[in-house]
């Protein structure tokens, strides 16, 4: 299976349009050790022809242009995207759906019913899309493996996890099973397994089990410290309150990833522009490297 990182930044991207934090300033002035990044999304395929788009970032059009496999040009109107799946209802993972409105059929879309609800009420993207291509909704079942029509060779399963629902959700700060999910994808021929969770606020036994069973984990890399946004004056919320486990400190992501076998590939994604790991020469980035942890970048390709 091929996993193509279309976008590796958290909401806002890198640089963020209105941000002059040291990192955004550095990437804007062309620092050789800061790479620009679009908002997080991946494409997954077993045959390199038919792709599952996991999350639809506001940057999806730029991401499709940058990855020609998603435009195979077999007909006047065509796409390599066979289905779209959403991990949550957040703006950075869903508003790209509007950019796909010219699809020739209803957009095959997989998400949890709670995400569908948020995207039909608080942020009614599905209702708007009904005036264009419409949505062919498939309810994401939790903990039961399933296949998706048009995506040969892949077996999928979603599990509930603790992160946060968007501000326009009635479940904001009141997590419900399904408003945030992690995704396991298994290549049916090689048996190799990916675990994807761009938002992961707290480790729970079933999530940890899924990570241990994987050959590659592509997980939440939003912030380095719990109070990163507060100490910069960028927000009043801690990382954990926003639904993102920080990397450093007790119970942080590094500590968890350290417990995985060395054979598991460990990659961080959904990285916020304030996170010092975006500076490839920072001590924090060197710490990750010393722990065998990679940082996803746009265009990164993982083969399993
Ligand atoms: C998050 O991951 O917490 C959200 O995407 C934040 C945002 O809306 O930018
Ligand atoms: Mn986000
Ligand atoms: Zn910034």
Residue ranges and CATH numbers for the domains of the chain are 2-303 (3.60.15.10)
Question: Any idea which ligand is nearest the CA of 27?
Answer: 3
d(CA 22, CA 10): 17
- Which pLDDT score is estimated for 143? 79
Nearest CA to ligand 1 atom 6: 11
- Which pLDDT score is estimated for 129? 98
Does residue 163 line the site of ligand 1, with CB under 6 A? no
| Nearest partner of 263 among 205, 300, 220, 211, judged by Cα | 211
Whether this prediction's pTM lies above 0.75 is answered by yes
CA–CA–CA angle 213, 302, 6 (5° rounding): 115
Which atom of ligand 1 has the smallest separation from the CA of 243? 3
Asked if residues 121 and 166 have their Cβ atoms less than 8 Å apart, the reply is no
The stretch 191-210 carries a mean pLDDT of 98
Mutate to test the pocket of ligand 1, among 90, 115, 161, 270 (most ligand atoms within 8 A of CB): 90
The stretch 196-214 carries a mean pLDDT of 98
The stretch 189-218 carries a mean pLDDT of 98
| Residues 102, 108, 304, 205, CA torsion sign | positive
d(CA 144, CA 12): 33
Question: Any idea which ligand is nearest the CA of 201?
Answer: 1
| Residues 240, 244, 247, 251, CA torsion sign | positive
Residues shown for the chain:
304
- Taking only the tens place, the pLDDT of each residue in 55-79 is 999 999 999 999 999 999 999 999 9
| Nearest partner of 253 among 285, 283, 279, 288, judged by Cα | 288
């Amino acid at each position: 299976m091929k996993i193509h990182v279309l976008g590796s930044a958290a909401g806002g991207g890198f640089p963020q349009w209105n941000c002059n934090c040291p990192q955004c300033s550095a990437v804007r002035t062309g620092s050789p050790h800061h790479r620009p990044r679009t908002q997080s999304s991946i494409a997954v395929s077993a045959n390199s022809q038919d792709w599952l788009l996991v999350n639809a970032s506001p940057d999806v059009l730029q991401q499709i242009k940058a990855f020609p496999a998603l435009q195979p040009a077999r007909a006047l109107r065509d796409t390599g995207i066979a289905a779209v799946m959403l991990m949550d209802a957040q703006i950075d993972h869903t508003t790209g759906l509007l950019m796909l409105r010219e699809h020739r059929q209803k957009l095959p879309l997989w998400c949890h019913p709670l995400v569908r609800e948020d995207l039909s009420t608080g942020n009614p993207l599905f209702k708007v899309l009904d005036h264009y291509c419409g949505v062919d909704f498939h309810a994401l079942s939790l903990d039961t493996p399933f296949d998706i029509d048009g995506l040969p060779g892949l077996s999928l399963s979603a599990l509930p996890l603790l992160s946060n629902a968007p501000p326009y959700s009635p479940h904001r700060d009141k997590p419900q099973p399904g408003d945030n999910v992690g995704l396991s994808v298994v290549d049916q021929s090689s048996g190799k397994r990916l675990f994807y969770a761009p938002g992961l606020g707290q480790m729970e036994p079933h999530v940890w089990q899924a990570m241990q069973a994987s050959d590659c984990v592509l997980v939440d890399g939003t912030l380095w410290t719990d109070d990163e946004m507060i100490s910069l004056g960028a927000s009043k919320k801690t990382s954990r309150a926003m639904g993102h486990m920080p990397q450093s400190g007790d119970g942080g992501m590094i500590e968890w990833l350290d417990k995985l076998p060395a054979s598991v590939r460990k990659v961080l994604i959904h990285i916020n522009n304030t996170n010092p790991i975006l500076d490839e020469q920072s001590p924090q980035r060197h710490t990750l490297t010393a722990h065998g942890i990679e940082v996803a970048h746009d265009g990164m390709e993982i083969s399993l």
